[in-house]
Chains A and B, each alone.
Chain A
Amino acid sequence: MERPIAMQLEDTLMEAVRGKSKAKAFQDTRKKRLKERMIEKFFLLNGLLAIFILGGIFTLLFLKAFPAFREIGFWQFFGGAVWNPNAYGTPQYGILSLIVSTLMVTLGALAIAVPLGVACAAYISEAASPKAKEILKPGIEILAAIPSVVVGFLGIVLVNPLLARIFGISNGLNALNGSILLAIMSLPTIISLSEDALRAVPRSYKEASLALGANRWQTLARVSVPSALSGIIASIMLGMGRAIGETMTVLMATGNAPALTFNFLEAIQTMTATIAIELGEVPYNTPHYYALFVIGLVLFVMTFLVNLVSDLILQKYQEVER
């Protein structure tokens, strides 16, 4: 909102009345306007920073991943399932097993977190008393605040022996363990955003349904949830993005064995865990180092796409609401 010219002219006149010469007053106003414009430019620069950082992350990842494509070859990465960069003789850089591992724990986490999270969101928005909400909402916030390293620690000391006993295996550090922990990590995102979506459903929809003789459950299942569906899906996508990028929990709880498997009771190694384990050991600017940036680039692109899709869904849904 620019100030109207008339107002600025008035400023000038006022200054003149106060005894300054007209020329000086005009000059002062111009100075003031210049200052205001400089301030606006300064804030714009800070706003643009977000774009610079996002672009910077992509550019640096790409620059560091590029030598790996040149020295090792593009198809080595995406055509091979064996990740063994320290092999004597010919190191192998296939990242398929790492991608499969990441997708496995992510899908496992969603299988647990989506029904739980959406049900919890539905309970908070449709059934909970105001008093219960006062406990539930901060509770979800606290769950979101628990650091991933603490969740990973509990994966080792609590979930690990539990799984070992239930399934009769010697070691409970496996894909299932990681899935359970990631489910806990992504629950707050899914719950709070799904609840927002459910709360945004116009009251008149529910009232119309109830007036037609539907009970509260039918109203929830056939009116509220379908109308909030795009918001719920967006929340699930965001939870998925979080699960894909989570590092410490999977690093601590999945056993870290880079092998291609689809068995949830076997140890796996995700993309994030691979970077976390190996970046500290490799010398800068070696093929292995560059290869880790290839994994980083793939991770970045995956989460970027997931976030972008959820963004598009949300935008469409907001347009419909208006």
Chain B
Amino acid sequence: MSKKFTERLGFFLLAAATFLVLLFLGVILFDIFSKGAGVLSWKFLSQAPRQGMTEGGIFPAILGTFLVSVITVIFAVPLGMFAAVYLHEYARPGKVTRLIRLAIRNLSGVPSIVYGLFGVVLFVQSLRLGTSVLSAGLTLGLLTLPWTITACEEALKTVPKSYREGALALGATKWYAIRTNVLPYAIPGMLTGVILGLARAAGETAPILFTGAAFFLPSLPKSIFDQFMALPYHLYILSTQHHAIDKVRPIAYGTAMVLLGLILMLSFSAIWVRYRYRQRMKG
């Protein structure tokens, strides 16, 4: 084989592999959206399931996912932001900082079902929060914390050092410099990370299986101490646990489409915020 031929063949194979990966993505998106679009309607989005979930809509699942996400954000964002400020603005290189970073990287690798176990013991049993919106939201908050910290730190990294030094040179205290000259410029970047973390949390199923998600509820949750229905869990039930799986397949597709659409919308808005932000930092 000539060298020229090997080179051509090699790069052809790389392109083929890349094409295959894109094909996976294309098939996933096409299948869900083409088959889910048929059941999508205002009724589907605004009504509760009826007749043993074979008819009606998925509104309680949408609401449940929304409520849990709110708890997740309220819990994870401030903690993640503070930790990032510590790591990027205050921490000096040393054993403690290395250990914190190691812990963050390892936390992001802990399986989601293990977070579920942890949530059951800590929030449901020990803190007596029961299986509830609150327990599930806190569990998902823990799960997203390492991503939030990393994203917020990345955002802090993009703020030029001169901004801090300028404030310090004028006699500002360290905290004043951070508050007025660093955080305002890092907020858009942090927002990107928060939205991406939220998109991940909204699609997670394993951590909420035992911390609050319910198979079916006749009424909407009245407080954060009630159980809830959630989009990903609803999809899981409709595709594996339902007594008439073939009959509810269209509803399952519709649920999958709403869930995927929600997450793609969040992801795109994060990518858009990041793009705008980069343009601004350049200009």
Contact = CB atoms under 8 A, between A and B. Distances in A.
A160 B24 CA distance: 15
Q: Taking chain B's interface residues, is the majority helix, strand, or loop, or is none over half, making it mixed?
A: helix
Contact of A156 (B28, B240, B260): B240
A306 B106 CA distance: 10
B25 A276 contact: no
A145 B236 contact: no
A50 B100 contact: yes
Contacts of B104: 50
B69 to A, nearest CB: 13
Interface in A204-251: 215-218, 220-221, 238, 241-242, 244-248, 251
B263 interface: yes
For chain B, give the interface size range: 35 or more
B103 A119 contact: no
For chain A, give the interface size range: 35 or more
A123 B11 CA distance: 8
Contact of A303 (B22, B109, B209, B239): B109
Contact of A279 (B6, B103, B196, B209): B209
A116 interface: yes
B105 A307 contact: yes
B113 interface: yes
A307 B22 contact: no
Contact of A116 (B20, B85, B203): B20
23 contacts: A44-B86, A46-B85, A47-B100, A50-B100, A50-B146, A57-B110, A116-B20, A119-B14, A147-B203, A147-B204, A149-B205, A152-B236, A157-B249, A215-B4, A218-B3, A220-B10, A245-B111, A245-B112, A251-B240, A252-B240, A275-B116, A299-B113, A311-B105
Q: What are the nearest 10 A-B pairs in CB distance? A: A245-B111, A147-B203, A119-B17, A46-B82, A43-B86, A47-B86, A217-B7, A307-B109, A123-B14, A247-B206
Interface of B: 3-4, 6-7, 10-11, 13-15, 17-18, 20-22, 24-25, 27-28, 31-32, 79, 82-83, 85-87, 89-91, 96-97, 99-100, 102-107, 109-118, 120-122, 125, 142, 145-146, 149, 168, 171, 173-175, 196, 199-200, 202-206, 209-210, 232-233, 235-236, 239-240, 249, 252, 256, 259-260, 263-264, 267, 271
